[in-house]
Amino acid sequence: MLRKIFIANRGEIAVRIIRACAEMGIRSVAIYSEADRFALHIKKADESYCIGSEPMACYLNIHALVDLALATGCDAVHPGYGFLSENAKFARACKERGLIFIGPNADVIHRMGDKTEARNAMKAAGIPVTPGSDGNLQSVEEALEFAAQIGYPVMLKATSGGGGRGIRRCDNADELKRNYVRVISEATKAFGSANVFLEKCIVNPKHIEVQILADHHGNVIHLYERDCSIQRRNQKLIEIAPSPQLDEAQRQYIGGLAVIAAKSVGYTNAGTVEFLLDDSGRFYFMEMNTRVQVEHTITETITGVDIVEEQIRVAAGLPLRFKQEEIVRRGYAIQFRINAEDPKNNFLPSFGRISRYYAPGGPGVRTDTAIYTGYEIPPFYDSMVAKVIVSALTWEDVIKRGERTLRDMGLFGIKTTIPYYLKILKHPQFRTARFNTGFVEQNPSLINYSDKPRPEVLASVIAAALASHTGL
């Protein structure tokens, strides 16, 4: 088993990994930029080290991170999600220096990170993919010609894209011409590659992804699916496991496809195979994420499998502890990404000091976060400040629990997406599980909510303020 793990990340996911290490008796090493000097993850780790003053660049300095991991006596590196988690150069650098990279090998990361290569690999494995270009586009003229063949609308995508960036829908030739330069520019800045490709746009599909685990002994299993259809501009907001929109036959089919996909590329560790489901019931491969996902929590909730612990065990060379027939799901789980954003102001980021924070609790509630009362949210990173996960045995009950939990949560000093999510939970389409990726855009009235503090939350704030002054 591993002795000491270097966590090449920050915030909530770093805290999550530190907790797994603690339960496994493994020492953890955290890193932080000057902007993160008061972050929770550095308080929880066994050791922590400042890696520089540049908020972003220091988390992306491959050689500096590898050197520090070795200098602190670590035998493995966990990249979390984001930053260098899907960077083949980082995985390769770790291996070359004798460190275990907790994830798939560099060749698989590179192959699945290149979306045209991934598409071709899936086609070869018999996995259905959307019609599109087999390789990177060389010019806007080639893009226009190909779009005319498959028909509009089309999706123009960065080959190395991810996280909703480097992607544009084009409904006609004029939009394709305009977006071609934009996507190339965005892809170059965000991913260091100007390569783009084209594929047919599946209009308002359901976004369904499957969690897989694979070890170095040839064992591959799936942990059922997640529904990520509630999203805005290709950024996920609410995730659900399992999907309330699939029947059992569809569930078994897509789980089987994900296992085939993983085996076909020699995948190891945790990963996610993402699909689009159209109105006719056809699934299409979209991409494969070669890391732990933000939404891994809801899969853990319905299956009881600790995905991060399994990642560490697999990296240490141990076999999976579960066979496919032993994976049993129970009920439903919903994850709400609590973002420091103002939905009423076009979801503008709302960074700043958290004046008061009250975590929700009760049966079937989990909160993954790195915030606390008095914490100053730095403006340099993603706007997500917490993940609230609720579970219950039925779809109706998990919605009710979600409403109660979001109302229980108190987060003051910044604007958040909490009231927006409460509106979504009230919407008939959501309550009856009839939604797709167009849900947010189709329902602009969701932002018509009250900004006034709820009486029960306001009362708790006043009580806390009085107690702090009176010494109660």
What pLDDT shows up at residue 88? 97
Do residues 284 and 369 share a domain?
yes
In this model, does residue 50 exceed pLDDT 60?
yes
pLDDT computed for residue 469 by the predictor: 57
**Is 33:17 a contact under the CB 8 Å cutoff?**
no
Question: Does 18 share its domain with 141?
Answer: no
201-237 pLDDT, tens per residue? 999 999 999 999 999 999 999 999 999 999 999 899 9
Round the average pLDDT of the chain to a whole number and report it.
94
Lowest mean pLDDT among 118-122, 162-166, 247-251, 287-291: 162-166
Q: How big is the chain by its Cα radius of gyration, in Å?
A: 22
Neighbours of 73 (CB within 10 A): 12
Give Cα separations from 259 to 109, 119, 122, 404 (angstroms). 17, 16, 12, 37
* Residue 252, pLDDT score: 98
Do 295 and 416 lie in a common domain?
yes
Task: For 365-383, write each residue's pLDDT tens digit.
Answer: 999 999 999 999 999 999 9
Least confident of 162-166, 346-350, 402-406: 162-166
CATH number at residue 173: 3.30.1490.20
Q: Is the pLDDT of residue 2 over 80?
A: yes
Domain boundary among 150, 182, 200: 200
Residues 248, 288: Cα–Cα separation, whole Å: 23
Please give the Cα distance from 260 to 160 (Å, whole number): 23
The verdict on 183 and 72 lying in the same domain is no
278-294 residues labelled b (16+ CB within 10 A) or e (exposed): eeeeebbbbbbbbbbbb
Q: 445 and 375 in one domain? A: yes
Instruction: With respect to residue 342, please indicate whether it lies within any of the assigned structural domains.
Output: yes
- Poorest-confidence range of 128-132, 157-161, 162-166? 162-166
Q: Please check whether residues 158 and 195 belong to one and the same domain.
A: yes
Considering the domain architecture, whether residues 224 and 354 belong to the same structural domain is answered as yes
pLDDT in tens, 316-341: 999 999 999 999 999 999 999 999 99
The answer to whether residue 468 scores a pLDDT higher than 70 is: no
- For residue 467, pLDDT over 60 is answered with no
**What pLDDT sits at residue 188?**
84
Q: Is the pLDDT of residue 190 over 80?
A: no
CATH number of the CATH domain containing 385: 3.30.470.20
Model confidence pLDDT, tens digit, residues 262-307: 999 999 999 999 999 999 999 999 999 999 999 999 999 999 999 9
| Of 147-161, 185-199, 423-437, highest mean pLDDT | 423-437
Residues annotated as catalytic are 291
Whether residues 18 and 87 fall in one domain: yes
Q: How would residue 34 be classed by pLDDT, with cut points 50, 70 and 90?
A: very high
50 and 184 housed in the same domain: no
pLDDT at residue 255, as a whole number:
98
Q: Which residues constitute the domain of residue 46?
A: 4-102
86 pLDDT higher than 60: yes
29 with 178, same domain: the answer is no
Cβ(90)–Cβ(62) below 8 Å? yes
pLDDT of amino acid 164 = 66
The pLDDT of residue 143 is above 60: yes
* Mean pLDDT in residue range 164-181: 91
State the total domains in the chain: 3
Give the confidence band of 461 by pLDDT, cuts at 50, 70, 90: low
Please say which residue of 102, 121, 156 terminates a domain.
Answer: 102
Domain identity same for 410 and 446: yes
| pLDDT higher than 60, residue 157 | yes
Q: Is pLDDT above 80 for 453?
A: no
Please give the share of the chain, as a percent, with pLDDT higher than 70: 95
Q: Could you say which of 161, 182, 200 is where a domain stops?
A: 200
